[in-house]
Amino acid sequence: MKKIIYLVVLVIIIAVVLILVRGAEDTWICGDSGWEKHGNPSASMPTKTCLDKTKRVSRECVVNNGIWLAKFNECEIGLTESSCRKDGGTFNSCASACRHNPSSGVCTLQCVSVCSFSTSTPVSK
């Protein structure tokens, strides 16, 4: 009889843990293009601002003393390799300072750290 009670308690504990780990199924999630439905939320869409990924990354770039190049969807100097990769970017620790103007004739031989984002991500204006 004790074994059955222990088994029932164990099953209940596992069920509770699984429910907690899975998280909310019916909720609103701040995605790349704004608020997105996840499941069938009973609450209305949140009223607080949800920044898209590009706006969030460009703000993080500038806050960290970087230069956001919207035309090329990249941040010069401002993001570390780990934060760049976390946001889905490609980090280059030694990009050419003249990479966007190859016909400039004269280019300094210096490395510029750059975090680039794919062109499929919307570019902020």
Query: Mean pLDDT, consecutive 10-residue segments, the chain of 125 residues?
Result: 83 71 69 76 84 81 92 91 89 92 81 84 40
In a domain, 34, yes or no: yes
Per the structure, the count of domains in the chain is 2
Question: What's the token pair of residue 103?
Answer: 């016909």
Please answer whether residues 104 and 98 qualify as being in contact, where contact means their C-beta atoms are separated by less than 8 angstroms.
Answer: yes
In a domain, 125, yes or no: no
| Rounded distance between C-alpha atoms, residue 100 and residue 50, angstroms | 31
Report pLDDT for 87.
82
Report pLDDT for 114.
96
Is 64 found in the same domain as 106? yes
Report pLDDT for 93.
95
DSSP string, 9-37: HHHHHHHHHHHHHH--SSEEEEETTEEEE
Is 109 found in the same domain as 73? yes
Is 66 found in the same domain as 100? yes
Is 58 found in the same domain as 7? no
What is the domain extent for residue 8? 2-38
Instruction: Give Cβ neighbours of residue 81 (< 8 Å, ≥ 6 apart).
Output: 91, 93
- pTM across the whole model: 0.55
| Rounded distance between C-alpha atoms, residue 117 and residue 43, angstroms | 33
Is 61 found in the same domain as 29? no
